[in-house]
Structure 1
Amino acid sequence: MIAQRTLLASAVLSALATLSHSAFAQTQEQTLPAVVVTSTPFNSDEGAQILAPAKVVYGDELREKLGNSLGDTLSQELGVSASAFGAGASRPIIRGMEGPRVKILQNGMSILDASSLSNDHAVGGEASTARQIEILRGPASLLYGSGAIGGVVNIINDRIPTVLNAKPTGDAEVRYGTVDHTKNMSLSVDGAAGDIGLHIDGNLRNSDDYKIPGDVSLSDPSLGSGRLPNSFARANSLGFGASYIQSWGHIGASVGVNDDRYGIPTEERSFITLKQTRFDIDGLIKEPFGNFESLRFKLGHTDYKHTENLEDGTPATDFKNNALESRIELTHKPMAGWRGTFGLQTENSEFSALAADGSGPETVPLTKTDSIAGFLVEERDFGPFRASAGARLESVKRKPDAVSGLTQRDFNLGSYSLGGLWTFTPGYGLGATASVAQRAPAIEELYSNGPHESTATFDIGDNNLNKETSRNFEISLQKTEGLIRWKANIFQTRVKNYIYGRTDGTTVNEDGVVDPIATNNEFLQRFWSQNSATIRGAEAEISYNLRGEGWSWRGFADTSRGKLTDLDNLPLQPATRYGGEVGYRQGGWRSGVKVLHAQEQDKLASFESFVTPSYTQVDANLSYTQRINSNDVTWFAIVKNLLNDDIRLSTSVLREEAPLPGRNLIIGVRTSF
């Protein structure tokens, strides 16, 4: 087996080498295009984001990293792991922070799904039709929520056009994956009719149970091997948008629908059906009045529902979220040297997780949430020093249905951030940020008291939970110009009243009691608790010529450790990782090999027992772009997990019984017009 893996890796590397006829002939520095980060208040380029450390995944890089879920797509970014709850549901985990501590946006507005509540819930946004995906932290994250302690992920699909195209433009792609027979088609088109900008996007994906390298469980071979049972995933999405565009700005609207169905790879063999309809309005007025550059207002409404079904198709629990979010932002011109954005955000929602037949226990009672927040983010240059500051004040009210007998909770939150960047020589920067962020307990953390079929847990909330308060500090050093670039970050987060789920090993029936008949005790009790916590970590990477022609390479590493004050380690902590990649680009050819190694993760919480083994993941890609009838057509092949390693993520609830897919050859064609 080792010899076979070595031969496979050698073959790929040899193929890459044959593409080079001028290996290191490139000696002149290339000018790389700036990437605009739309989720920052100043639309800064990616290299300027030391105060809100950002990564923008776009273009060929996004297409090569694209997975069946948002978590899978971003899982190898610096400091980012994934919850990996099968192929259908995987959410980004940033620096060991997950769930409600990581805000997921679409075009700058909250997704408003149920993915932050539990790892088995899919994200209601589609990466296949995205133009770019942004990851940011720091002062700018206060624009979007006090609870975004871990960071913000923004999916940009430009569903509401902001420019008029002289002729239709867009992208279309078809791809097939061997590990699960994935068939994926996606389309995104922009056009115009007079002063009206038009947009349409859609995605169809269908995948079967995926192949795994060995046994389902490392400790119980009787659970099977070959394929991971019930790991299928189907996802369909469709979106339309239109806007009226003039020199003064634009106003537009869009509608999008998602229709998903995916399996939960546990012994219960349950599956989830998900439907979401979303409406958005977006308007921008340039130079609205006085000393202001722009006035922007947004409105988003989501009607979300997913049903957790038993293996035989019987509906068990309905999760519903009907939510409305509004935002208004004013960006002012420089005042006393400061430029910035301030505004208001509101959110009103009705959420519930109730028995589908109306007779069983309530997993989460119908709960109304009303929140209103004011925010401000400012920055100013003092010669080679740039200062940035942000503040957010927020009021959150959670009101459970009176029938539940639970009490309303009100939370007043205050979050603040301050940072500075010293450009001590052109292209080199030293920065530091300090912040205090507060988060209100989520609905399920307060009011859960029922069975959760897909996770096989009986969740018990605590109506007396206090708000979380985190104190964060980070130091960054980076080089942002030239062929060779690098950055290094060290960080520490101290959280008072950190909320987490813990178990004591007790199993109960669907009514939450221990049944004398052991076979009826199907659910593991999970309690929401609080304790003080500290997370420390570091990240570093160095790269050469990542976006230019010729050879390129990159090395990277990240590590973090989270500890509870009285109970040792935080649960589901990411493993220490390091790796590298090498690529070559010439004319229409593009190729690369990436190696990521994760160390064994034995830093377990007091109630965890499974030590996640180390793994090495090798991915490779090869593509060729040609011009056909004024259109760019790209033929591509991607191999993921080339060595067919047994990969289990320490951040996954299912790490003991659901390894990631084995070797996967993805082939496809993409056209841009």
Structure 2
Amino acid sequence: MHVQRTLLASAVLTAFAPLAFAQTATDTPIATVVVTATPFNASEGDQILTPAKVLAGDELRSKLGSSLGETLSGELGVSASAFGAGASRPIIRGLEGNRVKVLENGMAVSDLSGLSNDHAVTGEAATARQIEILRGPAALLYGSGAIGGLVNVVNERIPTEHHGHSSGVVETRYNSVDHGRALSFSGDTSAGKVALHLDGSGRDAGDYHIPGAPTGDTLANSALRQHTLGAGASYIGERGHVGASVSALKKKYGIPGGEGAQIDLDQTRYDIDSQLAAPLPGFEQLRFKVGYSDYGHVELNSEGGPETVFSNRALETRLEMKHKPVAGWSGSFGVQTEHARFSGLSAESGDPATVPTTVSDTHAAFLVEERDFGVARVNAGVRVESVKREPEGAVPRRTFDLLSYSAGAIFPLGPGYNVGLTASVAQRAPGADELYSGGPHESTLTFDIGNPNFRKETSRNIELSFRKTTGLVRWQANLFQNRVRDFIYGEVSDTLLDDEGNPGDELRERIFRQANATIRGMEAEISYNQHREGLSLRAFGDMSRGRLDDAGSLPLQPAKRLGAEAGYKRGAVRGGVSLLRALKQERLAAFESTPTPAYTQLDANLSYTQRFEHTDLTWFIMGKNLLDEEIRISTSVLKDIAPLPGRNITVGVRAAF
């Protein structure tokens, strides 16, 4: 194992070693991309709490997939659950579900994608301005649901500044692999001091082509249809803004391997966002947000009849106050609350099916501070949180008192070079499904059994990072270790049950268990001339391994990966090619039986932009899995049933004005 890690690090960090000392007169600054999900709004290469990545602009459009997981699956340290085309959730450093939080404009999406891999994420990448990834524990900022990291989809639905003139983007695209058609749009305008925003998207795709199969052979029940619409408005004054938005999502998609099962999903959400400069003496800024989500989905059987009705109604508030420097320390403190009512009821009887109706209340306060000490920039923070789960029926209520804290520092090693060290402790309360499950889950073909006596998870984390952040050549390398006490996981047995929990042949028994675990890994990336005119290059590698102490590997662990990209941009022309090599994954949990073979994924893209008066018209063509490889993802519950789509050619046009 040590030899493998050394080879992986060497391959990536030395890929462009001759360039590492290159100097050029064209070494002009790259436009800074701000990470909005952090309290200091620093750039992606300047984070202490957790390493950050921001996808935006042409890079985001060229990686856009049918789901959030697919869109982000090629990023450093990020894989995907790959539950067919309709549901794929990001997995960060081998952690998923309730440990990776998905936000929209800094507020929880409040869907049920963390409950099970067959549930779709409601954050929509097609209308996003940028997508932010924080790798590593972000519980300090956003609570115990972010113990493994977070993803923030930023669509600026509530405007925070005037654009000076009306602007917008409209895009349409067609996919060959599933005969899919997609349309997305967004627009901004102003009326005096009021800024207005409108966005929407639609996608309609059939069953997708299976790699290596004869023409016309597709993965049954992998079709999807989705529509979104959102609108927002803000009053923007000299000292800040106050605004509101409303959005709606409707999605229906098939469950491959689920004997014709489908999920019919809808969500309506309302948000309020306000910001005020110099609200009180000693304070620079106040930010207050409110979000309410009404989410529901119905799991349908092969005849289209409803089996289980899931619902989650959630109200979240967040207040942050940024203070002026005190003794050299800058920072902010805040409070956050969440009230959610979750249920999974039988469509026929209205009785609890998989999980009883559960009301959850969360109250938290946090403080994050940062200071320069000359030789180092230091960051420290603490979060206290109380989580209460109240299920209906004769089931015990649970309350969890959580404490998360961290300290980190960046030390300069020379102009443009630094080393960072972060240590943190993050705690997570068990979810309602982990505590109270006791019934069939048709879409995953399992009978889930929780444990109401579970203890809270405690993760102790340490991370060491090396970075070069200036110049044409930039690189980073991260080493991390998470030791988790009382880690909760689902163990799937060979016991077969019917939907009443009696011996049968329909469902496999899945029992939630708790044990200590350790996750270790590394990531490395080097790039040349990214985001500038001319030739650009990138190479990366990542790996993580999760083990239950004295009990083998954690289930659904990501494969080791190596990747390389080359791009070219000159005037109106932009193109690129990427190659990803994933190694065989045979580090299986005790109850897993099938390793996933190695695969090579080749992708490419080409675009040309024409200028027509005030409109930029961009024609593009993209190819994914051009080698038509049979790709099975080790992090997918459906790895034995559903390979990723085969060769796909996407053509489209985008108009920006």
Q: Does 1:607 align with 2:591?
A: yes
Q: Distance in 2 between the 1:340 and 1:226 partners? A: 57
What are the superposed Cα offsets for residues 176-234 of structure 1, whole Å, 9 maximum, x if unpaired?
Answer: 01000110000010111111110000000011000011369xxxxxxx98210000011
| 1:341-420 aligned within 5 A | 341-358=332-349, 362-401=353-392, 404-420=393-409
Deviation of 1:418 after TM superposition, in Å, equals 0.7
What are the superposed Cα offsets for residues 273-315 of structure 1, whole Å, 9 maximum, x if unpaired?
Answer: 0010000001101110111110110000000000000011010
Q: Is 1:398–1:410's contact at 8 Å kept on the other side of the alignment?
A: yes
Q: Distance in 1 between the 2:166 and 2:530 partners? A: 30
Q: Distance in 2 between the 1:605 and 1:304 partners? A: 33
What are the superposed Cα offsets for residues 431-490 of structure 1, whole Å, 9 maximum, x if unpaired?
Answer: 010000000000000001111111011111101111000000000001000000000000
| 1:329-344 aligned within 5 A | 329-344=320-335
Q: Is 1:30–1:548's contact at 8 Å kept on the other side of the alignment?
A: no
Deviation of 1:165 after TM superposition, in Å, equals 2.5
Instruction: Name the counterpart of 2:98.
Output: 100
Q: Is 1:531–1:566's contact at 8 Å kept on the other side of the alignment?
A: no
Q: Does 1:438 align with 2:419?
A: no
Q: Does 1:643 align with 2:610?
A: no
Give me the TM-score of the superposition, normalised by structure 1: 0.93
Q: Distance in 2 between the 1:345 and 1:666 partners? A: 42
User: Given residue 482 of structure 1, which amino acid in structure 2 is its aligned partner?
Assistant: G
Q: Is 2:273–2:287's contact at 8 Å kept on the other side of the alignment?
A: yes
Q: Does 1:512 align with 2:501?
A: yes
Q: Does 1:501 align with 2:459?
A: no
Deviation of 1:31 after TM superposition, in Å, equals 2.1
Q: Distance in 1 between the 2:241 and 2:151 partners? A: 25
What are the superposed Cα offsets for residues 521-575 of structure 1, whole Å, 9 maximum, x if unpaired?
Answer: 2111101100000000000011000111111111100001100013210000000
What are the superposed Cα offsets for residues 75-119 of structure 1, whole Å, 9 maximum, x if unpaired?
Answer: 010000000000000000000000010010000000011011000
Deviation of 1:386 after TM superposition, in Å, equals 0.5
User: Given residue 602 of structure 1, which amino acid in structure 2 is its aligned partner?
Assistant: E
Q: Is 1:213–1:226's contact at 8 Å kept on the other side of the alignment?
A: no
Instruction: Name the counterpart of 1:16.
Output: none
Q: Distance in 1 between the 2:339 and 2:615 partners? A: 45
Q: Distance in 1 between the 2:486 and 2:579 partners? A: 38
Q: Distance in 2 between the 1:242 and 1:68 partners? A: 28
User: Given residue 308 of structure 1, which amino acid in structure 2 is its aligned partner?
Assistant: E
User: Given residue 90 of structure 1, which amino acid in structure 2 is its aligned partner?
Assistant: S
> Which consecutive unaligned segments of at least 5 residues does structure 1 have?
1-23, 217-223, 516-520
Which of these residues, 543, 547, 554, is aligned with residue 559 of structure 1? 543
What are the superposed Cα offsets for residues 14-56 of structure 1, whole Å, 9 maximum, x if unpaired?
Answer: xxxxxxxxxx998622321110111111111122124421000
User: Given residue 422 of structure 1, which amino acid in structure 2 is its aligned partner?
Assistant: F
SS state at 1:611 partner = coil
Deviation of 1:504 after TM superposition, in Å, equals 1.6
| 1:112-511 aligned within 5 A | 112-137=110-135, 141-214=139-212, 226-358=217-349, 362-401=353-392, 404-511=393-500
Q: Is 2:258–2:442's contact at 8 Å kept on the other side of the alignment?
A: no
- When the two chains are superposed, the root-mean-square deviation of aligned CA atoms in Å is 1.5
Deviation of 1:383 after TM superposition, in Å, equals 1.0
SS state at 2:584 partner = coil
Q: Distance in 1 between the 2:543 and 2:314 partners? A: 36
What are the superposed Cα offsets for residues 488-539 of structure 1, whole Å, 9 maximum, x if unpaired?
Answer: 0000000000000002211100101104xxxxx2111101100000000000
Q: Is 1:26–1:550's contact at 8 Å kept on the other side of the alignment?
A: no
Instruction: Name the counterpart of 2:62.
Output: 64
Deviation of 1:71 after TM superposition, in Å, equals 0.2
Provide the aligned length of Structure 1 versus Structure 2.
636
What are the superposed Cα offsets for residues 579-602 of structure 1, whole Å, 9 maximum, x if unpaired?
Answer: 101111111111111000000000
Q: Is 1:40–1:140's contact at 8 Å kept on the other side of the alignment?
A: no
Q: Distance in 2 between the 1:580 and 1:470 partners? A: 33
Q: 1:270 to 1:459 in 2, by over 3 A?
A: same
Q: Is 2:92–2:135's contact at 8 Å kept on the other side of the alignment?
A: no
Q: Distance in 1 between the 2:195 and 2:375 partners? A: 41
Q: 1:155 to 1:80 in 2, by over 3 A?
A: same
| 1:70-89 aligned within 5 A | 70-89=68-87
Q: 1:463 to 1:370 in 2, by over 3 A?
A: same
Q: Is 1:179–1:665's contact at 8 Å kept on the other side of the alignment?
A: yes
Deviation of 1:166 after TM superposition, in Å, equals 2.1
Q: Distance in 2 between the 1:348 and 1:595 partners? A: 44
Q: Is 1:140–1:390's contact at 8 Å kept on the other side of the alignment?
A: no
| 1:622-661 aligned within 5 A | 622-661=606-645
| 1:24-63 aligned within 5 A | 28-63=26-61
User: Given residue 489 of structure 2, which amino acid in structure 1 is its aligned partner?
Assistant: Y
Q: Is 2:175–2:181's contact at 8 Å kept on the other side of the alignment?
A: yes
Instruction: Name the counterpart of 2:654.
Output: 670
Q: Is 1:146–1:414's contact at 8 Å kept on the other side of the alignment?
A: no
What are the superposed Cα offsets for residues 597-646 of structure 1, whole Å, 9 maximum, x if unpaired?
Answer: 00000000000001100000000000011211221111100000010000
Q: Distance in 1 between the 2:563 and 2:162 partners? A: 43
SS state at 1:362 partner = strand
What are the superposed Cα offsets for residues 315-340 of structure 1, whole Å, 9 maximum, x if unpaired?
Answer: 00001001100010001111111111
Q: Distance in 1 between the 2:278 and 2:167 partners? A: 29
SS state at 2:45 partner = helix
Q: Is 1:623–1:634's contact at 8 Å kept on the other side of the alignment?
A: yes
> Which consecutive unaligned segments of at least 5 residues does structure 2 have?
1-21
Q: Distance in 2 between the 1:523 and 1:225 partners? A: 31
SS state at 2:58 partner = helix
Deviation of 1:136 after TM superposition, in Å, equals 1.1
Q: Distance in 1 between the 2:229 and 2:202 partners? A: 9
Q: Is 2:131–2:151's contact at 8 Å kept on the other side of the alignment?
A: yes
User: Given residue 512 of structure 2, which amino acid in structure 1 is its aligned partner?
Assistant: W
